Structure 1
Amino acid sequence: MARHASTMVPTRSSFTLQQAPRRSVLYLALGLALCELAATAPALAQSAGTTAASAAAADAQAAPASAPATTSGATTGTATGTGKVATVTVQGERQVNRIDRQVYDVKQDVSSTNGSAADILGNVPSVSVDPTGAVSLRGNSNVQILVDGKPSAMLQGDSRGSMLQAMPAEDIDSVEVINNPGAEFGNEGGGGPILNLVMKRNRRAGGMGVVNANYGSEGRYNSAVNGSYNEGRWGIQGGVFVRHDGRNSTGEYDRERIDPATGASQRTTQTSASAGLNDMHGLRGAVTYNLSDVDTVEANLGLMRRGNDSVAQEHDQTFGSTGVTTADYQRTTRTSGDNRSNMGGLRWDHKGEKLGELFKMDLRVSTNDSDVDNRFDNAYVVRPVFADADASQRLQANHTRIVDYTGDYELPLENGSIVKLGYKIADNDSEFDNRYYNFSGAVPVADARLTNDFQVDERNTALYGSYQWKLSERWGALVGLRAEHTHLDMDQVTTGTSITNSYLNWIPSAYATYKLDDKTNLRFSYARRLRRAGAGQLNPFVTYVDELNESSGNPFLKPVKTDSFEVGYETKAGILDANLRGYYRDDHDTIRTRQTVVDATTILTTFENGGSNRAGGLEFTLSGKLTPKLSINTSGNLNYTEQQQLDLNGAEVTRHAPSLSVRGNLNYALTPQDQLQVKVNAQGKTLSGNGYRQPFATLDLSYRRNITQQLSLVVNVNDVFNSQKAETIIDTLTLKERNIRRFDGQIAFVGLSYRFGGAQANRSRRDGQDGEGWRNGPPPGGPGGPGGPGGFGGGPGGGGPGM
């Protein structure tokens, strides 16, 4: 986000470059002295994301080509060191892109008042979100999702999709897409490209709030209240929400397994249906206090709860090679449980003597606990040889706790360059406790083949540095290097096995921009990323899958290394903004499966490092106003993916496929009070696991009516033609499989949104901006603090370094 140019030019001062190392060493030493305290701190929750002071300087040195929207006479209320509120009027422009990322403003999305974070992400170019909440970017499912630049336990692991579907869209200000993350970003959550959710924040003096209430089809509903009050040195913000929602589904499954030795086949079919709407609720709050003109502290807290209740019915049949039915039964699965997320943190910002000089320390803790109770009842018509018990139960208790402590120092030099230094210590402690019982009458009997407890304690320690400078009037550059050490302590509690693993990685990154003219920019970027193995890939316990298969993890897996390259062309195509990007991604030491024959009837599947995957493609976006009433936002992505895998005999197998996705948003102002939005999303064939996913397309409609200046009516209809489905196909020499799953995509919501307070709203709020008009970079907090509360999962707005 950019400020007016006048706020981004360094001024001369008595501070010299020779003083900088001494000051930076002092700041970093102060932070590092608290490292062990941070790593063992109690659950203080996740704090505010960093307010990116460097964003303005980055924009100044590498002017983006996307046409900015002019903001005339924006007025912000800010707190001075005396506790009085000063009003600063500025002239400026809101920039869309920065040297290392694309920024998408989602506040104007008509559906944001009654949608979820998953809905918002699904509208971002080249981002795909399936009905379960699984996210991919440019066909890559290894996506890191941050909240205000920081990781959150609730967006890790299997619960991420459901949490995205629970998080209110109303809390989100913008989405930052970082395809090649730089040195300041860590590798948690998969280490892939980053989607950063920048949460809304407010800096206005006085109080304001908004109330949303929505009712949907089949008894769905959601409501949220958000507000803030700012006076003098203090800023307070918070909100609560409730949501009753979910996605019922039906499924069709057909699998044929072929014996490679004899050619004999076995066919299995399954039809299923699952239903269950769950209750979700949460709250958040943040308090900011300006200690002085140069020091600001903040504390924040967030809580979220979600149910895991559902009922599923399935009919399974298995046929032998002669067509004889060998299994036929009905299974009923009743699921109950809940998911609990807590987060909070503390933050201190200190502004130095030099314009733009800033030191930040940030401590946050987040936890996620998920308890699931699955009860299975089988009614056999034809009982198979290796039949499950008539009644069984699976209990899953997963716990994740992340302690994240970072320090960042930023120093603008006299020549206009910017130096950044930072450190990070993060502990990620997880436990995965799975217990399986078969019932003999009313007595539960533990099934040792499926019962195990696995614990992983992961510590990541990192140092990074970056240097940004302006080579000429047309060229700008940013280079960075990150050193990251990972140590793993793994305990397979059930078998009494303890294993350690550690490794050090050097992670470079580089960016450059070239300004062809006032309307056109070229962008170049490179970054290396790491993708660490998940708990399921590390757990050495040998798990029973069925009578023919077992699986086991590998605790000595190393991270996958990914080198990403990108070239972008940004210009003005008539009255529209146009972007074209070419990209290439190369994965080394990929984690792939290896199958080995244990005995005459059993195959063991495990994991190993080896081989590589490659992907590349072209991405375009086209947006702007076609007429005073009609605006468009379209994007497309042509992707080519190549994967190396091992077959049953251990031979290398290469899979490859192109994929095309297109999406478009049309916004039409029917009247000054009425707005209609049409969204089209089409996804081509994509590789998925050992197979591929078939194409699909959807159409969504949204309508907003401004009844008064404070009250609005919003109507959404998702998947108008009920065409959304997930169909995957596997076709190999030993396995032919087709799996179709249809979800409740066709859902309607109608709601009201009421805004109150904030008399200076039209003049005092500059959406998405930090500290316009401040002499010394971003404000130390002012009303609303250094970014305000970060919503559920993370801390204040700003989306700064993610370490």
Structure 2
Amino acid sequence: MCNADLTSPCLRNLTLPLLLLPLLAHAQDQAPPVQTVVVSASTEPVVKKLDKTVYDVAGMARAANGTAQDVLQSTPEVSVTADGKISVKGNNQVTVLINGKPTAMLAGAGDEQALALQTMSGADIASVEVITNPSAAYNANGGAILNIVLKHNRKPGAHAQLQGSAADHGLWNVATSGDVTKGALSIHGNLAFRRDGTLKMRDSAVDWNNPVSGLSGQTRQTSEIFVRRSVESATLGLDYALSEIDSISLSAQHNRRRSLPLLDELNATRTPAAETLYHRISFGPNEQSDNGASLAYNHQERGAVLKASLQHSTTDNLVDKSYRDVFVTPALPADYTRGATASTRRLTQATVDWSQATTHGQWGAGLDIQNKVDDIANYQAAVDPLNGSETQDPETTNRYAARTTLSAAYLTDKFKLGQWEALLGARVERMGLRVTPAQGAARNGHWQAFNPSLHLRYEISGNADITLSYRRSLQMPDARDLNPFTTYVDAQNLSRGNSYLKPQLLNSWEVGTNADAGRLSGSAGAFYRTSRDTVTDARSFIDAVLVTSKQNGGQARSAGVTASLEWKPDERWRLGMDGGAYQVVLTTPDTFEVVHQSGVSAYLNLRAAYHAGPDDLSLDAHAQSAGITPLGRFGVTNNVNLTWKHQLNKTLTLTVNANDIFDGSKRTYTTEADTFRRSGFDHFVARRLYVGFTKKLEAK
């Protein structure tokens, strides 16, 4: 596995072929011309399959300068907030795959997944598969799936692409990619450097009370932080045709992210006995490194396809939480605290997939074996400002490992009888969870599940149909929620996980209809989802300090309607919209009672694209209404993006991206629990103007 140091021989060996790809393409371009016949055809932008919808994003103008998050945000049926929270048709339980497989980089939840998507180049993505109710062939992990399919050119000859862009705040990115195919061998890769950053503003006001001791108080925290991040990534792949029916593929990836968060947080705490006012100042830095490799074998013969793959990926994170408290009231000497969280995630997966064509359709079967290990260490110590010596806090310094295993077998049957088409599936899974603290006994859990899936389509006519789908699945708890120890959040808050958490059980039904009428196409549907044993917060007090832990016991139900419409009035225009409205009912245990609440939410996505000669102009707008959370609510957000793409010549393109034009990413929230009431906002400033270019080189 490559060392994160760019001067390491391993990464140099990976970088050299990538830098040579554009030169090789240019050199072949100087060779004597060869008579060829070129046949071109436009790719269908949307392909609706029985169990998924495939959106071609290879030519998306916003992708040229943008990230994977920008591409997903512009994909129909998908909603992405500025801070990276994803939902699909109102479902926020979303698994993100790369080329149909999980990776350690995207296997995390929340901020980890968002960071990975915010630093992945959108120009590398060929298509996005939106799978609202995955078939049994997928490990759904409790929800919808977004499968990001990367570009992979296997045309004979050499092809290369250079691209770059720049924005305000000194942000920029450059990348080169290319491929060479000769005979049975194809080599492809890319190399990218990105310097980006995000301004984050937060405000939180808390009124807390301890029902046991009677103590109460108020705390307000306001902060502004600009995270400046550098990203270096490289991939290299090889495809070789062993014969007309057998082929193998090898690939390796490396990604390194470094950030310098400059944080100044103002804390104001008031109790009946005293008032405290101080600034908390932190500088980081934080580092993440991702590495992966995969080997795949493919065999196709007489309607049968056998695919086998083995892949391993790792993600290393170091989050420096060191800070200095500068006291204003009362006037005290500044205190220094050294804090850090180091984590390593290792994910290994082996799969075998088989399919066989039949008279009426296709059989499928497969095996899926996964092993994921999260090793997490927390460190907290007081620092003597005179000599720099550290006094470790034994209560918040700890280490543990969470090992999750999955062994699954599935069987699918796809067939068509008259106007009916069906995809039936069954998946048998055995899940294991072992939490091993550095001190104390290990805790084990095992679960077995039979998860069926059903997809039906009835063809009313050649242009209209009715669909029905169902999927049941389990969702394993996040590794950070399994921490058996207490970790430090701030002076009024501690966090503790629960190593006894068990999987959540989710069920999803969806019915819909699709219709085409000339240049107009549309769909409408309704869904119903349930969640049992949902993981929720559990709160308690140690003296005057609030301790937030995790527990199973919540339940959720949601039901709603969705619709989409695409219109192509002529060859220049393409217009589209999709949206939905749904009711959510949550049952959440609180300290002394179970809280029942319900609310209605909605989302709307609008798209417009115009093409005339060398120019492409596109606009996408997104709005998310207010909604409920366990014991709380969140506010409205919106995002409007405009992109202009101009073809300067056959191989050179200029692109201008204006992201979040109206700066609508600010989101308010409230929480009302037995022990506290909190209100505030998070504002991730996503407004950016990127100007970039793309240069293509090609040789036959």
Q: How does the TM-score come out when normalised to structure 1?
A: 0.79
- The whole-number CA distance in structure 2 between the counterparts of 1:601 and 1:735 is 12
Aligned to 1:23: none
* Corresponding residue number in structure 2 for 1:433: 377
Q: Measure, in 1, the Cα distance between the counterparts of 2:255 and 2:486.
A: 34
Structure 1 segments, 4+ long, off by >6 Å, are: 86-93, 261-264
Is structure 2 residue 107 aligned with structure 1 residue 165? no
Q: 1:546 Cα shift?
A: 6.0
Match of 1:730 in 2: 671
User: Could you say if the C-alpha distance between residues 360 and 389 of structure 1 is closer, same or farther in structure 2, counting changes exceeding 3 Å?
Assistant: farther
Percent identical residues: 27
Higher relative contact order (CA closer than 8 Å, sequence separation 6+)? 1
* Among candidates 489, 499, 504, match of residue 560 of structure 1: 504
1:6 maps to what in 2?
A: none
Structure 1: how far apart are the matches of 2:501 and 2:78? 29
Residue 248 of structure 2 is aligned to residue 248 of structure 1: no
Q: Which amino acid aligns with 1:431?
A: D
Instruction: Say if 1:213 and 1:224, in contact at 8 Å, map to a contact too.
Output: yes
Partner of 1:328 in structure 2?
Answer: 277
1:90, 1:483 → 2: CA distance?
44
Match of 1:446 among 386, 392, 395: 392
Q: 1:610 aligns with which of 540, 553, 556?
A: 553
* Corresponding residue pairs, total: 661
Could you list the per-position Cα deviations for residues 17-56 of structure 1 after superposition, in whole angstroms to 9, with x for gaps in the alignment?
xxxxxxxxxxxxxxxxxxxxxxxxxx9xxxxxxxxxxxxx
In the alignment, residue 592 of structure 1 is paired with which amino acid? T
Partner Cα separation in structure 2 for residue 468 and residue 332 of structure 1:
59
* Greater strand content: 2
Structure-2 residue corresponding to 1:350: 299
Tell me the CA shift for residue 588 of structure 1. Answer: 1.6
Confirm or deny: 8 A CA contact 1:688 1:728 kept in the other structure.
no
Distance in 2 (alpha carbons) for counterparts of 1:145 and 1:421? 22
CA 544–116 in structure 1, closer or farther in 2 if over 3 Å, else same: closer
Deviations 1:499-547 (A, max 9, x none): 1111111111011001011111111100011111112222222445567
Secondary structure of the residue that 2:138 maps to in structure 1?
Answer: coil
Unaligned runs of 5+ in 1: 1-42, 44-85, 760-803
Cα separation, 2, equivalents of 1:96 and 1:423:
27
Matches within 5 A, 1:366-765: 366-383=313-330, 390-413=335-358, 415-441=359-385, 442-472=388-418, 474-493=419-438, 495-543=439-487, 550-573=494-517, 575-596=519-540, 601=544, 604-649=547-592, 651-669=593-611, 671-732=612-673, 734-757=675-698
Distance 2:529 2:578 in 1: 20
Q: Residue 720 of structure 1 aligns to which amino acid in structure 2?
A: I
Q: 1:318-366 CA deviation, whole Å, 9 max, x = no partner?
A: 2235xx86110011011113111011111111123x2x20111100111
Secondary structure of the residue aligned to 1:113 is helix
CA contact (8 A) 2:536 2:551 kept: yes
Q: 2:241 aligns with which of 290, 314, 318?
A: 290
Describe the superposition over 1:708-763 as per-residue Cα deviations: whole angstroms up to 9, x where unpaired.
0111110011111223212212244543222212223211000111111156xxxx
1:91 and 1:311 map into 2 onto residues whose CA distance is: 50
1:602 offset after TM fit, Å?
A: 6.0
1:241-300 residue CA offsets vs partner (Å, 9 max, x unmatched): 110002112222222224558987522222211013211011111111111111101111
Please give the alpha-carbon distance, in whole angstroms, between the structure 2 residues aligned to 1:300 and 1:462.
25
Q: How far apart are residue 97 of structure 1 and its match?
A: 1.1
Q: Given the two structures, how large is their TM-score scaled by the length of structure 2?
A: 0.90
Corresponding letter in the other structure for 1:660: A
Residue in structure 1 matching 2:135, options 182, 190, 194: 182
Q: CA deviation at 1:490?
A: 1.6
> 1:604 Cα shift?
4.9
**Greater alpha carbon shift after TM alignment, 98-107 vs 134-143:** 134-143
C-alpha separation in 2, matches of 1:734 and 1:701: 45
Give 1:37's aligned residue. none
Q: Using the alignment, how far apart are the partners of 1:216 and 1:611 within structure 2?
A: 44
SS at match of 2:321: strand
User: Which moves more between the two structures, 212-221 or 122-131?
Assistant: 122-131
Residue 692 of structure 2 aligns to which amino acid in structure 1?
G
- TM-aligned CA distance change 1:335 to 1:545, over 3 Å: closer
Q: Please, which of 104, 125, 143 is the counterpart of residue 55 of structure 2?
A: 104
- 2:198 aligns to what SS in structure 1? coil
Residue range with higher mean Cα deviation, 330-339 or 690-699: 690-699
After superposition, the Cα gap between the structure-2 partners of 1:608 and 1:270, relative to the gap in structure 1 and judged at 3 Å, is: closer
Q: Could you tell me whether the CA contact under 8 Å between 2:409 and 2:427 is conserved in 1?
A: yes
Instruction: For residues 573-612 of structure 1, give each alpha carbon's deviation from its aligned partner in whole angstroms, at most 9, with x where no partner exists.
Output: 55221011211101122223334566x7566543333242
Q: Mean Cα displacement is larger for which, 615-624 or 430-439? A: 615-624
Indicate how the Cα distance of structure 1 residues 286 and 383 shifts in structure 2: closer, same or farther if over 3 A, else same: same
1:71 alignment partner in structure 2: none
Q: What is the DSSP-based 3-state SS (H/G/I as helix, E as strand, rest coil) of the residue aligned with 2:284?
A: strand
Q: Runs of 5+ in structure 2 lacking a partner?
A: 1-9, 11-35
For the residues of structure 1 that align with 2:85 and 2:551, how far apart are their CA atoms?
24
Q: Which moved more, 1:554-563 or 1:125-134?
A: 125-134
Q: Secondary structure at the match of 1:181?
A: coil
1:757 to 1:143, Cα distance in 2 relative to 1, 3 A: same
In 2 relative to 1, CA 396–260 (structure 1 residues): closer, same or farther, beyond 3 Å? closer
Q: Aligned-pair distance for 1:128?
A: 2.2
Show the counterpart of 1:132: 83
Counterpart of 1:497 in 2: which secondary structure?
A: coil
Q: Matched residues in 2 for 1:630 and 1:238: separation?
A: 34
Find 2:269's aligned residue among 298, 314, 318. Answer: 318
Matches of 2:493 and 2:40, distance apart in 1: 67
Please tell me the root mean square deviation across aligned C-alpha atoms, in Å: 2.4
3-state SS, counterpart of residue 449 of structure 1: coil
Q: Distance in 1 between matches of 2:492 and 2:231?
A: 40
